[in-house]
């Protein structure tokens, strides 16, 4: 059963968010199974009261993710920046887009050319969590291929998926999943995973 995505409209401002998602945008698994595996691995700590599928970071965080350039806070001390939190999103029936102001031109899945006018084609430059539908397709200016948004190569600056693990606040590029985390995620049995970053 699909769950609601994190309410990005009421999210506090922060430096960014790192998403982990299956490389196949349509790959799905139950959130309960994902939560169980991530809790057993030490990525997830206690659930946040009143927030569905939102967790404190677990004791194994630094064994699974390397951080550079940012001071990650794990505690709720009032004189410190907001602590890192982890949100599980999905599974969604169709892939969802996660993008922000840091998104760059995606590359065509047919010819590999970057699409300069992608924002105009999607009619919305900074939306996060917009559902993919029949209108969420992009036409390549170079080869005229028309492909769904999730077929394009977004690099590490935006992406699509039917299942997400979102960590925040994480400045783009300053959190790097370690091989051990990908082993845990791929053991779920829905293929390889990758990360990307959204800055709002």
Mean pLDDT of 114-118: 93
Same domain, 189 and 137: no
Number of structural domains in the chain: 2
Instruction: State pLDDT tens for residues 123-169.
Output: 753 344 444 444 578 999 999 999 999 999 999 999 999 999 999 99
Same domain, residue pair 131 and 176: no
**Residue 12 pLDDT > 50, yes or no?**
no
Q: How confident is the model at residue 4 (pLDDT cuts 50, 70, 90)?
A: very low
> Is 19 contained in some domain?
no
Quote the pLDDT of residue 68. 83
Cα R_g (the chain), whole angstroms: 17
Instruction: Note down the domain range covering 139.
Output: 92-160
Please spell the DSSP secondary structure of the chain, one letter per residue: ---PPP-GGGPPP-S-EEEEEESSTT----HHHHHHHHHHHTSEEEEPTTSTTEEEEPTTHHHHEEE-SS----S--TTSPPPPEEEEE---SS-EEE--TT--PPBPTTT--B-TTHHHHHT-SS-SSEEP-TT-EEE-TTT--EEEGGGSB-TTS-EEESSEEEEES--TTSEEE-HHHHHHHHTTSS--EEEEEE--
Both 200 and 167 in one domain: the answer is yes
Residue 23 lies in a domain: no
Q: Are residues 172 and 199 in the same domain?
A: yes
Report pLDDT for 15.
79
Give the tens place of pLDDT for each residue, 51-109. 889 999 999 999 999 988 655 555 554 433 458 899 999 999 989 999 988 999 999 99
Q: What are the angstrom distances between the C-alpha of 72 and each of 15, 17, 75, 138?
A: 12, 13, 9, 37
Selected residue with higher pLDDT from 185 and 52: 185
| 32 part of a folded domain | no
* Residue 192 placed within a domain: yes
CB 158 within 8 A of CB 152: no
pTM value > 0.85: no
178 and 137 co-located in one domain: no
Is the same domain home to 102 and 152? yes
- For residues 143 and 193, membership in a common domain is answered with no
Residues 133 and 153 in one domain: yes
User: Are 22 and 190 contacting, i.e. CB atoms less than 8 angstroms apart?
Assistant: yes
In a shared domain, residues 155 and 183? no
In a domain, 40, yes or no: no
Whole-number pLDDT of residue 82 = 53
Q: Which residues pair with 137 in a beta bridge?
A: 148
Residues 173 and 115 in one domain: no
Question: Is residue 141 domain-shared with residue 177, that is, in the same domain?
Answer: no
* Beta-carbon-side half-sphere exposure of residue 136 (alpha carbons within 13 Å): 19
Residue 22 lies inside a defined structural domain of this protein: no
Strand 159-161 vs strand 96-98: parallel, antiparallel, or unpaired?
antiparallel
Answer whether residue 188 is part of any domain: yes
Statement: residue 116 has pLDDT above 90? yes
């Amino acid at each position: 059963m699909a769950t609601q995505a994190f309410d990005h409209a009421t999210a506090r401002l922060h430096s960014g968010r790192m998403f982990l998602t299956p490389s196949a945008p349509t790959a799905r698994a139950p959130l309960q199974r994902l939560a169980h595996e991530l809790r057993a691995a030490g990525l997830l700590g206690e659930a946040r009261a009143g927030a569905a599928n939102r967790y404190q970071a677990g004791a194994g965080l630094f064994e699974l993710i390397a951080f550079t350039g940012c001071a990650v806070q794990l505690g709720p001390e009032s004189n410190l920046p907001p602590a890192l939190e982890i949100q599980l999103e999905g599974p969604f029936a169709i892939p969802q887009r996660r993008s922000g102001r840091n998104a760059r031109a995606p590359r065509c899945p047919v010819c590999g050319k970057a699409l300069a006018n992608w924002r105009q084609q999607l009619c919305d430059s900074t939306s996060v969590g917009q559902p993919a539908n029949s209108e969420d397709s992009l036409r390549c200016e170079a080869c005229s291929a028309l492909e769904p948004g999730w077929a394009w190569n977004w690099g590490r600056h935006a992406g699509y998926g039917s299942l997400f693990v979102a960590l925040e606040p994480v400045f783009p590029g300053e959190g790097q999943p370690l091989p051990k985390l990908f082993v845990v995620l791929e053991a779920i049995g829905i293929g390889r995973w990758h990360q990307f970053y959204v800055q709002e």
